[in-house]
Amino acid sequence: MQNDDFFRPVSGFDLPRYAGVPTFMRLPHVGLDDPRLARVQVGLIGAPWDGGTTNRPGPRHGPRQLRDLSTMIRAENGITGVRPFEAVRCADLGDVAPNPADLMDTLKRMEAFYTRVRAAGILPLTAGGDHLCTLPILRALAKDRPLGMIHFDSHTDLFHSYFGGTMYTHGTPFRRAVEEGLLDPHRVCMIGIRGTAYDREDRDFARSVGIRIIPIEEFHARGPEDVMAEARGIAGTGETYVSYDIDFIDPAFAPGTGTPEVGGPNSWQALLVARLLKGVNIVGADLVEVSPPFDASGGTAFLGVSVMFEMLCVIAETLAAKGITE
Amino acid sequence: MQNDDFFRPVSGFDLPRYAGVPTFMRLPHVGLDDPRLARVQVGLIGAPWDGGTTNRPGPRHGPRQLRDLSTMIRAENGITGVRPFEAVRCADLGDVAPNPADLMDTLKRMEAFYTRVRAAGILPLTAGGDHLCTLPILRALAKDRPLGMIHFDSHTDLFHSYFGGTMYTHGTPFRRAVEEGLLDPHRVCMIGIRGTAYDREDRDFARSVGIRIIPIEEFHARGPEDVMAEARGIAGTGETYVSYDIDFIDPAFAPGTGTPEVGGPNSWQALLVARLLKGVNIVGADLVEVSPPFDASGGTAFLGVSVMFEMLCVIAETLAAKGITE
Amino acid sequence: MQNDDFFRPVSGFDLPRYAGVPTFMRLPHVGLDDPRLARVQVGLIGAPWDGGTTNRPGPRHGPRQLRDLSTMIRAENGITGVRPFEAVRCADLGDVAPNPADLMDTLKRMEAFYTRVRAAGILPLTAGGDHLCTLPILRALAKDRPLGMIHFDSHTDLFHSYFGGTMYTHGTPFRRAVEEGLLDPHRVCMIGIRGTAYDREDRDFARSVGIRIIPIEEFHARGPEDVMAEARGIAGTGETYVSYDIDFIDPAFAPGTGTPEVGGPNSWQALLVARLLKGVNIVGADLVEVSPPFDASGGTAFLGVSVMFEMLCVIAETLAAKGITE
Amino acid sequence: MQNDDFFRPVSGFDLPRYAGVPTFMRLPHVGLDDPRLARVQVGLIGAPWDGGTTNRPGPRHGPRQLRDLSTMIRAENGITGVRPFEAVRCADLGDVAPNPADLMDTLKRMEAFYTRVRAAGILPLTAGGDHLCTLPILRALAKDRPLGMIHFDSHTDLFHSYFGGTMYTHGTPFRRAVEEGLLDPHRVCMIGIRGTAYDREDRDFARSVGIRIIPIEEFHARGPEDVMAEARGIAGTGETYVSYDIDFIDPAFAPGTGTPEVGGPNSWQALLVARLLKGVNIVGADLVEVSPPFDASGGTAFLGVSVMFEMLCVIAETLAAKGITE
Amino acid sequence: MQNDDFFRPVSGFDLPRYAGVPTFMRLPHVGLDDPRLARVQVGLIGAPWDGGTTNRPGPRHGPRQLRDLSTMIRAENGITGVRPFEAVRCADLGDVAPNPADLMDTLKRMEAFYTRVRAAGILPLTAGGDHLCTLPILRALAKDRPLGMIHFDSHTDLFHSYFGGTMYTHGTPFRRAVEEGLLDPHRVCMIGIRGTAYDREDRDFARSVGIRIIPIEEFHARGPEDVMAEARGIAGTGETYVSYDIDFIDPAFAPGTGTPEVGGPNSWQALLVARLLKGVNIVGADLVEVSPPFDASGGTAFLGVSVMFEMLCVIAETLAAKGITE
Amino acid sequence: MQNDDFFRPVSGFDLPRYAGVPTFMRLPHVGLDDPRLARVQVGLIGAPWDGGTTNRPGPRHGPRQLRDLSTMIRAENGITGVRPFEAVRCADLGDVAPNPADLMDTLKRMEAFYTRVRAAGILPLTAGGDHLCTLPILRALAKDRPLGMIHFDSHTDLFHSYFGGTMYTHGTPFRRAVEEGLLDPHRVCMIGIRGTAYDREDRDFARSVGIRIIPIEEFHARGPEDVMAEARGIAGTGETYVSYDIDFIDPAFAPGTGTPEVGGPNSWQALLVARLLKGVNIVGADLVEVSPPFDASGGTAFLGVSVMFEMLCVIAETLAAKGITE
């Protein structure tokens, strides 16, 4: 167990949860140039960018609202009993600086940021941002070998291009990632896919490269436990990235997103699938597409950070099991 | 398959979904005087009227918000694979013009409009408006013989009168329809009925004429598949109208309605019951009581158009099966 | 059956439900000094106070919004057929006057109010207010012997103190109640507990005194019927208080509360557990923590009064069964 | 000065302003059948009806929200020092019961209600409701001789008919009132008229019968004091009705209304014109077209009740000056 | 006067204003490929793009909300008496199709669209979109000679670049336009400039090239009439573009925008400056930066279309005066 | 001029304004235990407490929302040209930790915090919190001699007590401050007082001790410049505190507050009075009563921080003039 008081979140008994400068989960803010960076094990990072959004924008505001609501999170997982901030040293690494008016420049800025994070030996847990943010993260994390991926979403994000040839949007990141060798398609599982479709080009591609898609009707029929057992099997013991699009969840529970699809999982299932990641060899994770303009009340962001906390608990257990917490 | 490009919706790859003049599902707008009316098979129609509302008004704004959100609908049903706009020629026929300050005049205007639609051989799929809108539609469609009906709602709308003798409100349309011989009560099934009650007058009437009511506790106990099998059996092979009140769905999923009742189906079940209409001989359908003032965000309208799309897919398959798509 | 027209709610057929001065469930307003108080059997009371709130305030506005939405409630329980206003004489007793700037003074004011209510032989059904409101109610109702309690919540509210020694907050009422002998811990059952935790001090205390906690994962695994059977067994035949914190329900269904926890029961389950109180010897009940600033639309309040109505129906049946309705 | 404690509003020092059953300005609720009606001098009445609304509905909810916000009003006019509740006996007479689905029936119900109010010698101060509500009020108050009127609005409401012959809408009440001899057009002044126009039919009619219209550009050029001096001159010493449509005020200050017109007076001017009614022989007044669905926050209603309080202060002074306060 | 019924907006007396497919001001929708395009004189165009936004996005949704609220506009200017739709043939030309994920591609698409509009002899009145939209419009309209410009805004939009060299953002369009010779800086007047500043680079540039900036303190001191007289003088008799950023107006009146600055003009002044454009030789105009996510109620959009209507009235008078209406 | 890069706010050209951990005006966060505290000259402090609120709560959330919106503030005052962050070293000192459930404890905590701030030689600029927060600040700053005060508000906050003897509420701070000798009443000026009144006890007290009240009608009649000249004269050259209650401003401009009073100054006047503080010998200032639950959009908070920035510019000039910037 880490015993470094610097990395302990502010308690609600010392300062009420609604008060104080809001960092992720009330952790210390440690910028990339801060000398304490070397001691960080898990870095919570904001990616305030939605330049790949083809429909209704807003996820660029996600990190701020997620930070705000994350101050409602306490020290211990009520069900598993994990106390992640005692198990590993976590910090808020701040936001990646995007260039809102230049997509290609931002992809480079983000890749450079995460390359530094990886070089520091820090496992990144990212709050998006739209789903295109995941591409530069994968470029930084998977430069040298492909990763597996467990992907919660209502969309595959596997399209070839939009608007007559535009290759980089929030609907294409995983097509690019497969093409670039960042993902091993046989170790990729996509869960919750639903909604009306343009066509079947994305799903045809998935089949052709070996990506496993579990559509929503199968999810509802089999239930979270069974589905997650399969997903863990697909990911195997290799290094795996977890990408969680908030629109995986039904919009009654998570209205704050730009491309909702009705008929999805409820909040209990949304947490449960994250808890059932236990045992996966996670090397990075994200929660993307929270769009505050569509949910001023912050309910979506609160559910989002609750999912992040579940993922963080699994990550903390995994790191502890690896014996690398000190 | 119809191959008339005029009737193809605008693709999100050509014009982003949030852009453009919003017609229903991005279909062409074909007014009743338009020469292309003759080629339309399914007409999406707005009924912007809530003159029968005894409680909290707003459904008059339903068609505009439903049109707005309907631009999020794409070409293909993700689960059944049906592509309705290729199977049949669909168009937005515009709105019926109500007289907001004269109830009886509006009933006549609406009946006249739908009489023209029927005369043109067009199957109407209506976006309300409150539930009184269904009465003049039935008067136009069932003038010559009674129809069966599958009715999703939390209320029976079978009351005799309100306020000491007022016969036309959104709580009375199906009492009138039975009295006028527009519905064959033995082929009517009402699903999802719940909430507190004034008294049992409506349910006593149902029993006395042979209408089958499946209350919510039975729905939750048996599940959508079983309930819909019974409903399809009641409707039989005869011509059937489908009337879907958005307050059938739990208000967490569909808050935008004037007389919500808690404890209802979730969004997955809401879509599923529409999908399970497959095989019913539908001659018209509606989605009513969406009240935008109670859901400025549009989440209710999006769920509403998603239900409409499911109904449209069933209708398209049925028309195709009848071999009348050309 | 009571046949006192004075105590009959205004019907929506006489005055539309959105109209009129809003009292609880459109009942007559009978203040504590009103001579008609002597005939009241069940008193609906507002406790507009949130002085114990350590996080996000607002429940002080609960009673007004609950009254507003309660005018949507009709005369009869759609499922059980109970007509509570005919079974017992109910009235709106108005609000307890709090002192928003003096916590200890308010505790005394509330205890004094409920002592008068009890002295008048009236069973109180309270609309909070935050959960600290329950403490002075218990002080008035359980002065002479401990009560059992069935408690729906996502938090135990069993903490010792906050902020370095503050003994009275909405997180401590039941710790105080056990210490003061107002509750018999072996007859207390807490259902739905969940969310992240500071530590296990509250649950350790529960175990040490014999309080039964049914956490949310157990609730989801066993289902409402099984859980409520156990709860009824724990309460037994003795006098029992029912305390229902709206944050028991998932925030998608009840966003209007200050300390939501995701992953909770849906609206159908929320009503069902109240209906399954049938047979419990209820001597008082409350619905607390409805916070209108977090749900301007009133959906939370409507669900809240729907739960209150279910509790009222059970109470009415119980009182009738006791033969004390006249 | 009246010294009848029954008619004194509840003080915010006794019960916080947000608490308690919300009656108009925390006055006692005295129904038309209450024996205390005989002692009431000024009756605050809700008219929860918007059956004449041709555009966006909602004013039927006005009385409830106005009551809610009216609890923020205290005892004394900060500028004039008038304490109206001490000067005259005021009460909340409740709501007129409309028939939301029958316009002609509602006109009769309202006329009957106000006829009883007038018969009881009570001066009515009404909270609408849409502007058609003013017609039945005038029918009751002006049965025997025409009244003068000072009318604040952005619309003249002088149209002949809508939708091809519909005579009763919220755009026609004063055309009807002039035709029926309820208003003396030479003693009518309309202030603040603006916005785009269908045509000039309404203004041509005004000119032809002698109604004085002060359009917004003249209001801005001359200022409230000068305009009101003219208005008082037009009304003269005869009996005069005051009708205040909330859309007189700029929608930045009063967004909660169905047919806003930009470019109007600010809140200071909105209060000032009411204060400058001093000296007018007012026999009745109303504040109409507050539509809560367009302003959930209640800011419009608060401004509305602030205007009502200013009118009430002028009325109280006038009644006191007439020596009829006892 | 044009007497082509096709170009007449739908009247609110025929179809209520809240009903029907919402085109700009209820005009006919005439796409660029429609044969009737040749008869259009003024084209209302949506530019649903905010790719240049460096701060809070949303203006891409502007055209749809502006269309929606524009149905509240009637036929005649209440103050000037102008009836623009009778004076000139107006139509809704639909939306320019942007590429939300490719800034440079969108600039080309927009320039091409407006080049076709200009070639058709149509004067464009555009609803944005962010302020970068004005650049490709100017490229199409001012290809062959520089225009004058009257610019209402709280920002100069004259910066050189952002984020270390990004040349195309909504803060740079007029710097580019001057550099490219699209504007004659001596005929450019910017009105309402205010707010905190990064530095004085933009204002230094303005001074160096001869652009006249009238900051807000001068506007408040001199008043709209005096300021507009100077602006008209600066524009002179030459061809002039009018660009109206909604953030010119105080955010209390127009909250729906991404970079508001407090302390601005009120709604009356906002309309008045547009009306005072009379006499300017306008060849194109726009209303930009309406951001619906920041004003779900639509109040900002309604003020925006009211400003557009004032500009349209001036344009119609000018075209009529030129004798080119037929 | 200070030339310490550490104290320079993050530029919007480096990191977009919506991004990053939100501190006040993007300044560095320097806690009271931070060694850099010694170099801070002006400390921006959050006081997240509303325990003195007698009506509608919410200001405890003020500091967080004010920090969020303060990231929209840039480096330079557009009108005066002052660049405060270059003139003096400013920092965000974080929030005072309140005890939400213990009023007297919180008063002590706050006094202790500000005593440390004063001991460090830092001028505090506070973001509230309700108006009771000003009392412990004055206790810390004025321990040894009374201060003058310029007070912008719609209420005097001079009442003796509430609810039968409660001495500490947000309506009593300045009564206590005068009694305790913290304020020199002859150097106190209160501006903007308005709204309905309980009675005249507060104003009688003001008169009796020599406090000057400028009510709103006088403010509107004389204008900001004249009123502020008088206020500066009253404060004189002595040390003066500035307390700015956001409800001084009209609620159309600042709806986010718990006790609004209509008819107040507009946003331009709200900024102007702050700018006209130039020359006053300010030793501390606050902006209180911003209540986010009443303005989720943040418009009130943005106006609030704009006022804070104006006050900060005046303070910076004063400190610079005193020659103490290094």
State yes or no: pLDDT of F3 exceeds 70: no
Give me the domains of chain A, ranges plus CATH numbers: 24-324 (3.40.800.10)
Q: Which residues of F touch A21 (CB under 8 A)?
A: 21-23, 29, 67, 92, 94-95
Q: How confident is the model at residue E325 (pLDDT cuts 50, 70, 90)?
A: very low
Q: How far apart are the C-alpha atoms of A273 and A264, rounded to whole Å?
A: 13
State yes or no: pLDDT of F324 exceeds 70: no
pLDDT at F2: 53
pLDDT at F296: 84
Joined together, the tokens standing for residue D244 give 């205040």
A157 is in an annotated binding site: yes
Residues β-bridged to residue C162: C166
Q: Which residues of C touch B267 (CB under 8 A)?
A: none
Other chains touching D, judged by 3 or more CB pairs under 8 Å:
B, C, E, F
pLDDT at D325: 45
Mean pLDDT to the nearest integer, B289-294: 96
CB C236 within 8 A of CB C148: yes
A153 is in an annotated binding site: yes
Q: How confident is the model at residue C325 (pLDDT cuts 50, 70, 90)?
A: very low
A-F C-beta contacts closer than 8 Å: 74
Joined together, the tokens standing for residue C252 give 């998608």
pLDDT at E95: 98
Q: How far apart are the C-alpha atoms of B287 and A12, rounded to whole Å?
A: 47
Q: Are strands A212-215 and A183-193 parallel, antiparallel or unpaired?
A: parallel
pLDDT at B3: 56
Q: How far apart are the C-alpha atoms of F202 and F155, rounded to whole Å?
A: 9
Averaged pLDDT score across all residues of chain C: 96
Averaged pLDDT score across all residues of chain D: 96
Residue contact F19–A64, C-beta within 8 A: yes
pLDDT at D3: 56
Q: How confident is the model at residue D123 (pLDDT cuts 50, 70, 90)?
A: very high
Long-range Cβ pairs for the range A176-183 (8 Å, 24+): A176/A135, A177/A134, A177/A135, A177/A138, A177/A142, A178/A209, A178/A211, A180/A139, A181/A142, A181/A146, A182/A138, A182/A139, A182/A142, A182/A146, A182/A147, A183/A138, A183/A142, A183/A146, A183/A147, A183/A148, A183/A149, A183/A241
- Closest to B290 measured CA to CA, from B26, B29, B64: B64
Q: How far apart are the C-alpha atoms of D174 and B60, rounded to whole Å?
A: 26
Q: Which residues of A touch B80 (CB under 8 A)?
A: none
**Considering CB atoms only, which of B102, B163, B169 is closest to D166?**
B102
| Binding site, annotated residues of F | 131, 153, 155, 157, 245, 247
**Considering CB atoms only, which of A164, A216, A262 is closest to B303?**
A262
pLDDT at D322: 82
Query: By three-state DSSP, how is residue C260 classified?
Result: coil
> Position C270: which residue type?
A
Joined together, the tokens standing for residue A145 give 């070998």
Which of E5, E18, E21, E65 to mutate to test binding with chain B, by most B CBs within 10 Å of its CB?
Answer: E21
Shortest Cα distance, chain E CAs vs residue F123, angstroms: 23
E and C touching (3 or more beta-carbon pairs closer than 8 Å): no
B202 is in an annotated binding site: no
Residue contact F293–C60, C-beta within 8 A: no
State yes or no: pLDDT of F325 exceeds 70: no
**Considering CB atoms only, which of D54, D56, D61 is closest to B101?**
D54
Q: How far apart are the C-alpha atoms of D63 and D48, rounded to whole Å?
A: 6
Q: Which residues of C touch D23 (CB under 8 A)?
A: 21
D and B touching (3 or more beta-carbon pairs closer than 8 Å): yes
CB B176 within 8 A of CB B135: yes
State yes or no: pLDDT of F113 exceeds 80: yes
Joined together, the tokens standing for residue E187 give 């005929």
D and A touching (3 or more beta-carbon pairs closer than 8 Å): no
Q: Which residues of C touch F51 (CB under 8 A)?
A: 101
State yes or no: pLDDT of B197 exceeds 70: yes
Averaged pLDDT score across all residues of chain E: 96
pLDDT in tens, D175-232: 999 999 999 999 999 999 999 999 999 999 999 999 999 999 999 999 999 999 999 9
A14 is in an annotated binding site: no
**Considering CB atoms only, which of E196, E250, E264 is closest to F74?**
E196
CA distances from E95 to B20, D173, E60 (A): 5, 41, 11
Which of E160, E163, E257, E291 to mutate to test binding with chain A, by most A CBs within 10 Å of its CB?
Answer: E163
Other chains touching B, judged by 3 or more CB pairs under 8 Å:
A, C, D, E
pLDDT at F4: 76
pLDDT in tens, B70-118: 999 999 999 999 999 999 999 999 999 999 999 999 999 999 999 999 9
State yes or no: pLDDT of B326 exceeds 60: no
Query: By three-state DSSP, how is residue F270 classified?
Result: helix
Mean pLDDT to the nearest integer, A103-108: 98
State yes or no: pLDDT of A104 exceeds 50: yes
Shortest Cα distance, chain E CAs vs residue F76, angstroms: 5
Residue contact B61–D61, C-beta within 8 A: no
Residue contact E101–A61, C-beta within 8 A: no
Q: Which residues of A touch F64 (CB under 8 A)?
A: 18-20, 22, 68
pLDDT in tens, F48-92: 999 999 999 999 999 999 999 999 999 999 999 999 999 999 999
Handedness of CA E127, E131, E137, E138 (dihedral sign): positive
pLDDT in tens, B21-44: 999 999 999 999 999 999 999 999
Q: Which residues of C touch B254 (CB under 8 A)?
A: none
pLDDT in tens, E46-78: 999 999 999 999 999 999 999 999 999 999 999
Joined together, the tokens standing for residue D266 give 């600010």
Averaged pLDDT score across all residues of chain A: 96
Residue contact D163–B102, C-beta within 8 A: yes
pLDDT in tens, D232-286: 999 999 999 999 999 999 999 999 999 999 999 999 999 999 999 999 999 999 9
End-to-end alpha-carbon separation of chain B, Å?
8
pLDDT at F281: 97
Nearest C-alpha in D relative to B109: D163
Residue contact A58–E102, C-beta within 8 A: no
Q: By a Cβ cutoff of 8 Å, what residues of chain A touch chain F?
A: 14-16, 18-23, 29, 46, 48, 60-61, 63-64, 67-68, 92, 94-95, 97-98, 100, 296-297
Q: How confident is the model at residue F180 (pLDDT cuts 50, 70, 90)?
A: very high
Residue contact F19–A67, C-beta within 8 A: no
**Considering CB atoms only, which of F60, F61, F99 is closest to C163?**
F99
Other chains touching F, judged by 3 or more CB pairs under 8 Å:
A, C, D, E
> Position D229: which residue type?
A
D95 is in an annotated binding site: no
Percent helix, strand and coil across chain E, each to the nearest 5: 40, 15, 45
Residue contact E196–F77, C-beta within 8 A: yes
- Closest to D23 measured CA to CA, from A286, C21, B65, A75: C21
